[in-house]
Structure 1
Amino acid sequence: MNIQQSNIANLPTKYGKFRIKAYKDNNQEHLAIMSLDFEQIEVPYVRIHSECLTGDTLGSLKCDCQNQLELALKFISKEGGLIIYHRQEGRNIGLLNKVNAYALQDQGRNTIEANLELGFKEDERDYKVIKYIFDDLKINKLKLITNNPKKIDYVKSLNVELIERIPSITKVNKYNKYYLNTKKDKMGHLL
């Protein structure tokens, strides 16, 4: 892998103070968001947060992404650890195709059916950069904050000890209920 790295910089936020480091893998740039005490923590809490522009930035109610990100930022700020902002929009189909998938969802398809109809797998994400970030930040044990069994399986496949899975449960609303049920019933998410 030919990955470029930034220096580490400070990032004060409304959730607390963090340090950040960016990683560029081909055309995708990912971000490690670390608590100030991250380097002193033997078993950090870690969230691999998949990019969601519509949720994270615009506050879309169609998903629970912004709520999960905010929950993780508050938690990591208090308890210590790391959030990897994994920049693979729309399960790595890109923003344009994600909006097309939204349009199909507006016609009644679920998130999986929409991706398949557009010619993609239900999930196109590639987690190889995560291994690189773990190695760079010397993570060999962690407590993973996730509901996604694929992320659990991926972390277990690395030379990293998964000590505990921490659920990331957010509120259901009338706009994301069908989406969350699809993630639970069809993708095995631990909701």
Structure 2
Amino acid sequence: MAEVRARVQLNVGKNSDIPAEIVSFRGLNDGQEHVAFVFNQADTTQTVPLIRMHSECLTGDVFHSSRCDCGEQLNESVEAMHEQGGVLLYLRQEGRGIGLYNKIDAYVLQSQGMNTYEANNHLGFADDLRDFSDAVLMLETLGLSHVKLMTNNPNKLNALRDAGIEVDTVVGTHAHIKAGLVGNRAYLETKIKHGAHMLDIKKIKKP
């Protein structure tokens, strides 16, 4: 594994003045170009840094789709890491690993009444195709074996622990509920019921 670093100014959502280092990696298992953003030199100055494994969501992260809360979780993570330091692993795993094209097909099925898991299954995919082994490699390359994990997803927690990464604390994100023609409350409730996400639907963060 190899890494390359550069200092950048992030512009994530409403934030435009948060500095971070972007780290690219070579030699990852799946050949994807996953990157890490390091805040406040957290990989070298903190004993137990805050970590988030964030799967790419073009529709949510960039265009703030009302169907999910991915962009809001990303913003919340960046704000937390700006305050206390941390490492954001940005993983190129669109649509829980099915890719953007298939995710849009899944959107059509969701508009017809299927939930997010049912839509993926109808297209011939498992509930979640993501493999977090590259995230483990990224953490190991950064020299991080003991972390605090920011997530609501038990699969991410288990992936790190199974790989020998010590997770000191799990920090959940808020429930970012959106109204509108196509809101995301049902989506969040499905993640709780079907995906066992550790999300408190009452723990709402206002925009």
Q: What TM-score, normalized to structure 1?
A: 0.94
> Which runs of 5 or more residues in structure 2 are unaligned?
11-15, 200-207
Distance 1:77 1:59 in 2: 21
**28-37 or 138-147: bigger deviation:** 28-37
Match of 1:176 in 2: 184
User: How do 1:63-74 and structure 2 match up within 5 A?
Assistant: 63-74=68-79
Gaps of at least 5 residues in structure 1 are none
Task: Give the secondary-structure state (helix, strand or coil) at the position aligned to 2:80.
Answer: helix
Which position in structure 1 is the counterpart of 2:194?
186
Structure-2 residue corresponding to 1:21: 23
Q: What's the CA shift string for 1:113-169, capped at 9, x where partnerless?
A: 000000000100011111110110011110000000101111111221110000111
Q: More deviation in 171-180 or 134-143?
A: 171-180
Partner secondary structure for residue 104 of structure 1: helix
- Distance in 2 (alpha carbons) for counterparts of 1:116 and 1:50: 19
Matched, 1:147 2:152: yes
1:35 — aligned with what?
Answer: 39
Percent identity, aligned pairs only, is 37
Contact 2:133–2:159 (CA under 8 A) maintained in structure 1: no
CA contact (8 A) 1:15 1:74 kept: no
- Deviation of 1:6 after TM superposition, in Å, equals 4.4
| Partner secondary structure for residue 142 of structure 1 | strand
Q: Is the 8 A contact 2:40 2:85 kept in 1?
A: yes
Between the aligned partners of 2:89 and 2:173, the Cα distance in structure 1 is: 15
Runs of 4+ in 1 over 3 A off after TM superposition: 24-27
Give 1:27 shift. 4.1
Paired residues for 1:1-191 under 5 Å: 5-13=2-10, 14-24=16-26, 25=28, 26-38=30-42, 39-174=44-179, 175-191=183-199
Deviation string 1:71-130 (CA, Å, 9 cap, x unpaired) is: 001111110010000111001100000000000000000000000000000100011111
Measure the CA separation in 2 of the matches of 1:6 and 1:161. 22
CA RMSD of the aligned region, Å?
1.2
Cα drift, residue 65 of structure 1: 0.2
User: How far, CA to CA, are the matches of 2:119 and 2:6 in structure 1?
Assistant: 39
Deviations 1:25-62 (A, max 9, x none): 44411110001321111100000001100000111010
SS of the equivalent of 2:106 reads helix
- CA deviation map 1:157-187 (0-9, x unaligned): 1221110000111321231011001000110
Give the partner amino acid of 1:11.
Answer: V
